[in-house]
Structure 1
Amino acid sequence: MENSQTARTHLNMQIAAGALLTAAVLGIYAQSLGFDFIDLDDGVYVTQNPVVRAGLTAKGVAWAFQTLHGGFWIPLTWIFLMADQSLFGGGAWGFHLTNMLLHLANSLLVLWILSSLTKSFRLSLLSALIFAVHPLHVESVCWVSERKDVLFAFFFLFAVGAHGRYAHSRKRAWLAWTFCAGFLSLAAKPMAVTLPFILLILDYWPLNRFSRESARSLIVEKIPLALMCLGFGLITLYAQNLYRGVQSLDAVPLAARVGGAVYAYGWYALKSLWPLNLGVFYPHAGMDLPVYQAVSAGFFFAAATGLAWRFRKRLPWLTGGWFFFIVALLPVIGLVQSGLQGRADRFMYIPLLGLIIGAVWTGDWLIRKRDSLAKPGIALTAAFVIFLFVVSTMQAAAWKDSITLYAHTLDVTRKNYMVHEYLGSSLAARGRSAEAAEEYKKALAINPRHGDAWYGLGCLAVNRGEFEEGAECFKQALMWEPDHVEALFGLATAQMQLGDVSAAVKNLKKVLAADPGHVQAGKSLQTLMDGTSKAMWD
């Protein structure tokens, strides 16, 4: 009878915890069902992707496994996006709904996995609640393009849970489930390449499997998973190079990468505690990072790592959580620089969990050591969770549409030439040409070498019929970015209008050599060639 009562109480606690997490996620993200797509990347993944727009088909699934579109091999993400298209008819609300439900599922998984691994339902619930409402997760949930983030995390967490079951039962079936879930996580987003190392950290704490005697066997059991992760990592590097995503050492020197990486660790840790002034893009500081910031970040990182190691026996959860955070962020910390961003909120979707674990279990340890801290500790924790909920609700509202998002980002960041250009492009697409030109000029005032801003100004000039000005803008874009295919096509278009047929033909051929599938360039070249032939006969 007593066991039955205990089981019923535990079930009621689980139902109440699930209801709390559901209310928290819906309270923040239900508003996203009224949000639009974002001009940044949503065209690549959905709105201008004819395969995704066709819905879930056999042809589409085959394409998903064959393509490196967007610079990644992410077949599972493509399949989920196609399924959304079929289920919801292409409306943005359906894609936002799925992202929200995946985040809710991930929050529930955090509760289930941590309570299973640590045997502390209370602390696991608090960790899951912070995970559910933290503002650093808003970007991953509200941005349709980041379906890959919430999807990879779902299977990543499932793999962690399966590994915990294997550690407790020693049944090899759970080891197989870990491998399968790892594959699905990697097939959604290659950031899951850190999974074998994260599992080793969890073997240290909370599974308490790690020792000198067991270290070799723990490593060996993860070799198949590690080899798979290595394969995915190599595919990703190839795909990023193919799409020119990986920056050269000339563009971002090694010293700037190391300094930026150390600074980023400190920035992420700070934003975990005080997540204000978040935006969609943070420019890489490069060699312009102030020395005092680099030194301060380096000191913080070294001190935090040293303390976590120093107290590894007394506070193993703090050590495990800190190294979870460090390792999970490694693929995107900037040592291999992909893209132009210095940091991104979305990169913290899984790494944040390490900091949450370290903070929650350490706080509980402090309260248990000194009873007088119990009441202020509970009050502070409640205030912090409410603070996170309010900030997330406000941050989510910024993702209403592209112009709102970019304007918000410009309000909270400095010298953000990329977002000035993004805003210019969004304004231009909506016919607000004068405002768009101003944004492009602001971008160029910060970075005169930004080819996309020159390209945007060129397009505006051509649309006004000022072809000479347009041609000069396109030439400026090509001066700084010789591989800018659209600027080359724009230059050829302007030259056609100016009557410089030979130059236009030459540049159109260059466009087709760089991008054989460029339909407009092919049609324009055919028109010019037909016109030239007709003129010869006339």
Structure 2
Amino acid sequence: MFSLTALNSILYNRKLAVFIILCICLIVYIPIYSLDFQDSWDDQWVVINEYTENGLSLPNLKHILFDFYHGQYSPVNQLFYSTMYALNGYDPLLFHFCCLLVHLCNTVLVYLFIDKLLKACGHDDSLCAKTSFLTTLMFSIHPIVVEPVSWISASKILIYSLFYLVALIAYIDYMSTKKLKYYLLAMVCFVLSFGAKEQAVVLPVAFFLTDYLVKGKQYALSGKVLLEKVPFLALALFFGLLTIYSQAYFGAGLLIDQKGYPLVQRLIFASYALTEYFTKIIFPLRIHHLYPFPNDPGHPVPIRFYVYPVALIIIVIYLIRNFTVNYIYFGICFFVLHLITCIHLIPMARVAIVADRYAYVSAIGILFPISYYLAKFKQRAIAVRIVVLYCLFLSVYSYTRTSDWRNSTVLKNSINS
């Protein structure tokens, strides 16, 4: 019988632990090799376009870098498509394989991020190894991350996350060593991350959360540490304005006078979205590719949606009164921060009230504290059984959900299944 001692020896061998996670992830995503392009769900214009087909020529690279496309500015992601096309044309197998490869890289980065974060907080090697393993395993096979892995048009989430996680890891190294090379690496990765997806704009705030968790409030708010954030904040401001302008160029977003949802309704949507993302990360049920708005602009929100802001306020009050543990607060703040640009507080061109892909990075904020307390749970045999059963459920659901992305017809039919 497989003993807890043998399990611990695997977890302490970090290379072996990561290798096991990657193998499990590869098995879960076996259906990805039979997926096609989504010819009626954005691939037909996001992936298949003149920028992709014109390859890596200098004139095309100039257009990729300076053009807005359908209200989006993601030159790094477009370069990803152009490179794959240059290798073998519109080969869906190659495109999907590369997306999975990026997800595997992100999986390794999540492990490194959690491991370095806990070590910086002064935790022992055992707790660091266990928490990193659990967080990374659940992240890698979670059904809510299937969409960006299986849908080529959502690859910008994968690419942005890749550079974003490297930036976070580099910043933790900078905190402990104060070496300029880590600071500059974080800055370069910030630029590249935004070049894939505008969600990266919140990185300076993520640095602040890391400061607060690792070294406390006094350090995080000290003048020198705040001054170090100024270049990142300046870049974030520029990136934010660039995003708003790119949407306005397309005739949408914050600068365009158009009939949209009023602030009160958007606050209700935000409350609903946060609740929905939170519950789907913990209990991933009824995962779909499309979650329509409950009402059209100019029409009232269904009464049942008014429950969500009230429930959210109650939950916040409960957490403040009953928990003083930094890891819970860090996780929740990390979770909310990486959704803040996607929950309709800022008017953006969105076709759905929530989208699974936006929870790719924010899911770490929920899975991390859960893993932390599972790793500290004294009844280890019970904890192992819980983890095995939960991860088995995640694996089966993700395997099935990946198959639903075979093509646009199968995807649309999956809503009714």
CA–CA distance in structure 1, aligned partners of residues 247 and 222 of structure 2: 35
Query: Per the alignment, do residues 213 and 243 of structure 1 end up closer, same or farther by CA in structure 2, a change over 3 Å counting?
Result: closer
CA–CA distance in structure 2, aligned partners of residues 307 and 215 of structure 1: 30
Contact 2:11 2:17 in 1 (8 A): no
Report the counterpart of residue 324 of structure 1 in structure 2. 334
Structure 1 segment 268-279 matched on structure 2, within 5 A: 268-279=277-288
Contact 1:317 1:362 in 2 (8 A): no
TM-aligned CA deviation for residue 386 of structure 1: 1.1
TM-aligned CA deviation for residue 307 of structure 1: 4.1
Q: Unpaired runs of 5+ in structure 1?
A: 1-8, 413-538
Number of residue pairs the alignment of both structures matches: 394
CA–CA distance in structure 1, aligned partners of residues 146 and 235 of structure 2: 30
Say whether 1:355 aligns with 2:366: yes
Contact 1:140 1:150 in 2 (8 A): yes
CA–CA distance in structure 2, aligned partners of residues 133 and 62 of structure 1: 37
Task: State the TM-score, normalized to the length of structure 1.
Answer: 0.70
Report the counterpart of residue 31 of structure 1 in structure 2. 31
Contact 2:11 2:133 in 1 (8 A): no
Question: CA offsets, 1:333-372, max 9 Å, x none?
Answer: 111232221110011011111111122223344x2xxx3x
Structure 1 residue identity aligned to 2:344? G
Over 4 Å off, 4+ runs = 9-12
Report the counterpart of residue 42 of structure 2 in structure 1. 41
Say whether 1:235 aligns with 2:242: yes
Q: Unpaired runs of 5+ in structure 2?
A: 1-8, 120-127
Query: Per the alignment, do residues 217 and 284 of structure 1 end up closer, same or farther by CA in structure 2, a change over 3 Å counting?
Result: farther
Query: Per the alignment, do residues 307 and 199 of structure 1 end up closer, same or farther by CA in structure 2, a change over 3 Å counting?
Result: farther
Query: Per the alignment, do residues 251 and 364 of structure 1 end up closer, same or farther by CA in structure 2, a change over 3 Å counting?
Result: same
CA–CA distance in structure 1, aligned partners of residues 318 and 182 of structure 2: 35
Structure 2 residue identity aligned to 1:30? I
Report the counterpart of residue 291 of structure 1 in structure 2. 303
CA–CA distance in structure 2, aligned partners of residues 311 and 167 of structure 1: 31
Query: Per the alignment, do residues 307 and 211 of structure 1 end up closer, same or farther by CA in structure 2, a change over 3 Å counting?
Result: farther
Query: Per the alignment, do residues 12 and 381 of structure 1 end up closer, same or farther by CA in structure 2, a change over 3 Å counting?
Result: closer
Q: Which moved more, 1:242-251 or 1:356-365?
A: 242-251
TM-aligned CA deviation for residue 226 of structure 1: 1.3
TM-aligned CA deviation for residue 65 of structure 1: 0.6
Structure 1 segment 73-472 matched on structure 2, within 5 A: 73-119=73-119, 120-205=128-213, 207-211=214-218, 214-246=221-253, 250-286=259-295, 288-295=300-307, 297-310=308-321, 314-337=324-347, 338-365=349-376, 367=377, 371=378, 373-409=379-415, 411=416
| Structure possessing the higher radius of gyration over alpha carbons | 1
Question: CA offsets, 1:138-193, max 9 Å, x none?
Answer: 11011111111100000000000000000011112211111111111001111101
Question: CA offsets, 1:407-438, max 9 Å, x none?
Answer: 112x16xxxxxxxxxxxxxxxxxxxxxxxxxx
Q: Which has the higher contact order (CA 8 A, sep 6+)?
A: 2
CA–CA distance in structure 2, aligned partners of residues 317 and 263 of structure 1: 24
CA–CA distance in structure 1, aligned partners of residues 59 and 400 of structure 2: 41
Query: Per the alignment, do residues 175 and 399 of structure 1 end up closer, same or farther by CA in structure 2, a change over 3 Å counting?
Result: same
Root-mean-square deviation (Å): 2.0
Contact 1:311 1:319 in 2 (8 A): no
Structure 2 residue identity aligned to 1:375? A
TM-aligned CA deviation for residue 214 of structure 1: 4.2
Task: State the TM-score, normalized to the length of structure 2.
Answer: 0.89
Counting helix residues as a fraction of each chain, which structure ranks higher? 1
